[in-house]
Amino acid sequence: MSYLWWTLYGLATACLVAYGLHAAYLLSQARRRGPSYVAALERCRARSSLGRRHFPRVLVQLPVFDEPRVVARLVEAVAALDWPRDALEVQVLDDSVDGTPALARAAVERAAAQGLAIEHVRRAERVGFKAGALARGLELSNAPFVAVFDADFVPPADFLRRALPLFESAPRVACVQGRWEHLNRRQNLLTRAQGVAVDAHFFVQQLARAAGAGLVNFNGSAGVWRRAAIEDAGGWSSGTLTEDLDLSFRAHIGGWRFVFDPTLAVPAELPPTLGAYKSQQRRWACGSIQCLRRLLLPLWQSRMSLRAKLEATMHLGGYAVCLAMVTLAVLLPLGFGHLALLRHAPAAWPLWAVVGVAALGPLRVAMHGQRAAQHRGSLRGTAAAALLGLGVSANNALAVLRGLLWPIREFVRTPKQGRGGAKGGPLPNTEIGFALFTAGAAAVLAFEAPVSLVAYALFCSSGSWMLTLYWWTWERRLERLS
């Protein structure tokens, strides 16, 4: 039993260190290579004829499922895209089972009256979830380029004119991905913290990968695909909960390249309630691990460089850090008798120093993302994002286990707010349970464990307590008012 405890302890610690060092690596790449990469994209855009003299046919797909609050806004924004009407077609891929179809049909009729080639596509059954809807839409069109926008996005009018020229920036470009902006960043503490995390993803992780450090993935929305790349990679698949990540890596394995432009910003909603955010995170965590299971072997059998394979493995397995965090938090009080050895082990101090340095990696990434997004209060925002990540770690750890051990389950959409008001969600039982456990662990460890381990237990506990307090003071009140 002692051997098992030390093995799990070592693996969890190693995972946390690897995650932190990987974050620091991506930050260094974004800083060193990012500016010249973005400048090269601008030069490509300036000399391209796409969107100026040459207008290829573009299909815009809008996958929708029970989105009555945002579907009209989405159709209106797409109808305003600055692209010749004879080279543009739009599909509202509506699998809704509520009142959304009537609203979507009315919005489609208004757009069609303005001369837009737009269809309201309905399916008898929601087979394959979002991936199935996108695949069905491709069967109804032969356009060589395909743009995708989720229901809560509001693409700017010049999106296609800015995105299409970037397909000439490198050979075999499969997809051009834009950056997500935030319509409701200042709505509450939860959305502000999410904004920091999303900015860090795009301004550091995606930029570093695009500039040469790894493999960029399509983020599921605000991007344009080359149809030939979709077909060459095997098409959309519902084999995982993250069909965007799955298709992206299959295209990379097939030799295609991706472009990410941080200046190509598309506003979208951040989940305004804890329940909606946890649902989104569960899907992303579970789906990414499903992709890891599915694509790890083909990835390592491909002709990519060793560096690209290592970074791609870290990319696909990123959510495993949540499982490592929770595992370590659970192990500490269970191995109370072993911890006294760490206090008196001189060899452990260099290891703890490495852990401390690695822990700074994600924090520096968050701060850089805020500076790049030109948001004030970087320290406060970084602290909120860190606590949010800690608070949702138990939720994500359970999702990682699902992705590892069980087959795909139903695709659960993230509820959108739109023009309506947010409603409070259910009691966050997972977060409350983890908060109580880690607080109790800190109390137990205080008698024998090194200060660093007590601090870790308190750190994990603080994130769960923050989310619990947020729910109690904000969402509980909304639930009573609704």
Rounded to an integer, what distance in angstroms lies between the CA atom of residue 278 and that of residue 285?
10
Instruction: Residue 446: name the closest of 332, 345, 319, 357 by CA.
Output: 332
Rounded to an integer, what distance in angstroms lies between the CA atom of residue 138 and that of residue 59?
9
Burial 214-237 (b: 16+ CB within 10 A, else e): bbbbbbbbbbbbbbebbebbeebb
Residue 91 near residue 137, CB atoms below 8 Å: yes
Q: Report helix angle 336-343 to 429-445, nearest 10.
A: 50
Place of tokens 């605000």: 222
Rounded to an integer, what distance in angstroms lies between the CA atom of residue 418 and that of residue 167?
32
Secondary structure string (H, E, C) spanning 48-96 = CCECCCECCCEEEEEEECCCCCCHHHHHHHHHCCCCCHHHEEEEEEECC
CA 427 to chain centre: 24
Radius of gyration of the chain from its Cα atoms, rounded to whole angstroms: 23
- Residue 95 annotated among the catalytic residues of the structure: yes
**Burial class, 153, CB count within 10 angstroms (exposed 0-12 / middle 13-18 / buried 19+):** buried
Burial 312-326 (b: 16+ CB within 10 A, else e): bbbbbbbbbbbbbbb
Instruction: Give the start-end residues of each E strand in 151-256.
Output: 173-182, 223-226
Rounded to an integer, what distance in angstroms lies between the CA atom of residue 181 and that of residue 269?
8
Instruction: Residue 73: name the closest of 124, 110, 38 by CA.
Output: 110
Indicate which residue of 95, 150, 152, 261 is catalytic: 95
Beta-carbon contacts of 186 under 8 Å, excluding residues fewer than 6 positions away, are 192
Rounded to an integer, what distance in angstroms lies between the CA atom of residue 216 and that of residue 371?
22
Q: Which amino acid appears at position 397 of this protein?
A: A
Instruction: Give the start-end residues of each E strand in 254-329.
Output: 257-268
Rounded to an integer, what distance in angstroms lies between the CA atom of residue 35 and that of residue 7?
42
Tokens, residue 57: 């046919």
Tokens, residue 407: 């087959």
- Residue 199 annotated among the catalytic residues of the structure: no
Indicate which residue of 94, 152, 199, 244 is catalytic: 244
Residue 176 near residue 224, CB atoms below 8 Å: yes
Q: How many helices (H) and strands (E) does the chain have?
A: 19, 7
Catalytic positions, written as ranges = 95, 244
